[in-house]
Structure 1
Amino acid sequence: MQVTIDKNSGYCFGVEFAIKMAEDEMEQSDKLYCLGDIVHNDMEVKRLREKGLIVIDREKLQELSDCKVLIRAHGEPPETYKTAIENNIELIDASCPVVLKLQHRVKTAFDKMERENGQIVIYGKKGHAEVIGLTGQTLEKAVVVMEESDLDKIDYQKPITLFSQTTKSTKGFYELSGKIEERLKESNADLEEVSYNANDSICRQVSNREPQLQKFSKENDVIIFVSGKKSSNGKALYQVCLNENKRSYFIENETEIDPDWFLPDDNVGVCGATSTPMWLMEQVKSHLESMEKNALPI
């Protein structure tokens, strides 16, 4: 059995940057809070917790004062910064630069839509940390859509500006955008054309993973996809693997591997989400190789 790790898998720049900031800060501080899980991977969260990173929610943030709090790569709404000032909290801001740029674009577009009696629509998962940060730029007025049924929430008589959560599927974005255009035409058949502006704000470091994983999945007999169960990016990328290779398996760590998945001559590919640490994929690879050395029935 030959085991290969996908060289394109693992942390995106934003997550890698946030974890590095957390580790650097914990070397100097005896206590560091993090607003939400720093990454959607329980194994990595556990590793950093053992180093001293304390995960809190927004409710707990209101109770803190005179301390340091890390903002993870997903970014935060303006209210978080306001709370920090009021409570004398020092923010260690590890917001991804791509997300910060998108927040600025959404705020600028929202101000324009307010003047034109229009609306901001965000393609993303309602309640996701990044989406909370984006809707915060719009005084919570943005319409969040992910499924076709969500499109009923949009007013097609008013101008629309569409953005996307940075980690969503490019294909999904353009399919949804096309459906919005169709509804606009249907709703305004006898009226003047209503303004519609679609902004593909998906991070290319994330979107490029799809074609890379399609190729990787075809090159291997079995795919072991490593990701946290809470990662929406992980679920989407695993589906990419499964579409190309029916012998694809989603695991959180090596303890979930079933020897019955493999044949002796299989080429096995190990890959993961943008929230999957490389050390965890290497751990999975070592486990697979030890299975073969120990002559387990694979």
Structure 2
Amino acid sequence: MNITIDKNSGYCFGVEFAIQMAEDELAHEETLYCLGDIVHNRMEVERLHALGLRIIDREQLGTLHDCKVLIRAHGEPPETYQLAMQNNLELIDASCPVVLKLQNRVKHAFDISNRQQGQIVIYGQPGHAEVAGLAGQTGNQAIIVMNESDLDQVDFSRPVTLFSQTTKSTAGFYHMKQVIEERIAAAGADVATFDANDSICRQVSNREPALAKFATQHDVIVFVSGRKSSNGKALFGVVNKTNPRSYFVENETELQDEWFHEAQSVGICGATSTPMWLMQQVADHIAEIGELV
């Protein structure tokens, strides 16, 4: 059985940068707090916990004083920085540059939209950390949409400015864009007042065609990702559509022997939040299975 790990899978720049910053701090600090999971991958969170990284939520953040807190790649809304100043917290800001740039774009668009009685719409997962940071740039007035039914919140007689969470599916974004255009036209409004911004990270979107091609080159695909990962769900959808013998696992313990019966070639790939060491562990386990099936 031939087992290949996709060389284009694994951490994106933003996640790699955040984890490196955490490791650098923990090299000389016993404890470093992180607001939310540093990455949507349980195995990596557990590894960093052993080094001293402690995950906290927003309620716990409010109780901390005079210590260091890591801001992960997803970014944070303005109120997080205000609280840090009040509580004398030193922020280790590992916000992804792509996310920070998008936050600035959303803030600028919101200021303009306000003067035009318009609305900011964000195509993203409600409650996701990045989406919370983006909505925070609008004073939480942005309308968050995941599917067509969510668009019922939008007043299509008024101007609409659309952005996307950086890790969403490109196809999903353009479908939502088309539906909004149709609803604006149906409302008798001017489609020219609609401003759609494809703000999906190209490190993410460029993986979609590459993964689709990778999935055609193997009998079986094992996609490794944390189940909380929005990007993982989107990318698994790509490989599963291309190769129906695709399986989603969080780690090697979830592998099932029958998946590999009569398979000559197995491809292993993952999300932008999946560490390469974890994909290697999965590959090693599949090699052991291959000796048995």
Find 1:247's aligned residue among 245, 265, 274: 245
Which residue of structure 2 aligns with residue 27 of structure 1?
27
Alignment size in residue pairs: 293
Show structure 1 runs of 4+ deviating over 2 A: 191-194
Uncovered stretches (5+) of structure 2, i.e. residues with no partner: none
CA contact (8 A) 1:32 1:70 kept: yes
Which residue of structure 1 aligns with residue 194 of structure 2?
196
Cα distance in 2 between the residues matched to 1:125 and 1:156: 21
Instruction: Give the C-alpha shift of residue 192 in structure 1.
Output: 5.4
Find 1:216's aligned residue among 209, 214, 217: 214
Instruction: Give the C-alpha shift of residue 9 in structure 1.
Output: 0.5
Instruction: Give the C-alpha shift of residue 287 in structure 1.
Output: 1.3
Cα distance in 2 between the residues matched to 1:193 and 1:78: 32
Partner amino acid, structure 1, of 2:269:
C
Question: Residue deviations 1:46-94, cap 9 Å, x none?
Answer: 0000000000000000000000000000000000000000000000000
Does residue 155 (structure 1) correspond to residue 148 (structure 2)? The answer is: no
Question: Residue deviations 1:12-68, cap 9 Å, x none?
Answer: 110000000000011121210000000000000000000000000000000000000
Cα distance in 2 between the residues matched to 1:42 and 1:33: 16
Cα distance in 2 between the residues matched to 1:278 and 1:54: 22
Does residue 263 (structure 1) correspond to residue 261 (structure 2)? The answer is: yes
Instruction: Give the C-alpha shift of residue 174 in structure 1.
Output: 0.6
Cα distance in 2 between the residues matched to 1:21 and 1:261: 38
Partner amino acid, structure 2, of 1:205:
Q
Closer, same or farther: CA 160–285 of 1 in aligned 2, 3 Å: same
Which residue of structure 1 aligns with residue 77 of structure 2?
77
Does residue 119 (structure 1) correspond to residue 119 (structure 2)? The answer is: yes
Which residue of structure 2 aligns with residue 58 of structure 1?
58
CA contact (8 A) 1:184 1:194 kept: no
Instruction: Give the C-alpha shift of residue 290 in structure 1.
Output: 2.5
Identity %: 65
Which residue of structure 2 aligns with residue 8 of structure 1?
8
Instruction: Give the C-alpha shift of residue 193 in structure 1.
Output: 5.5
RMSD, matched Cα: 1.1
Question: Residue deviations 1:243-274, cap 9 Å, x none?
Answer: 11111111111111111111355200000011
Counterpart secondary structure, 2:27? helix
Find 1:230's aligned residue among 228, 231, 238: 228
TM normalised by structure 2 equals: 0.98
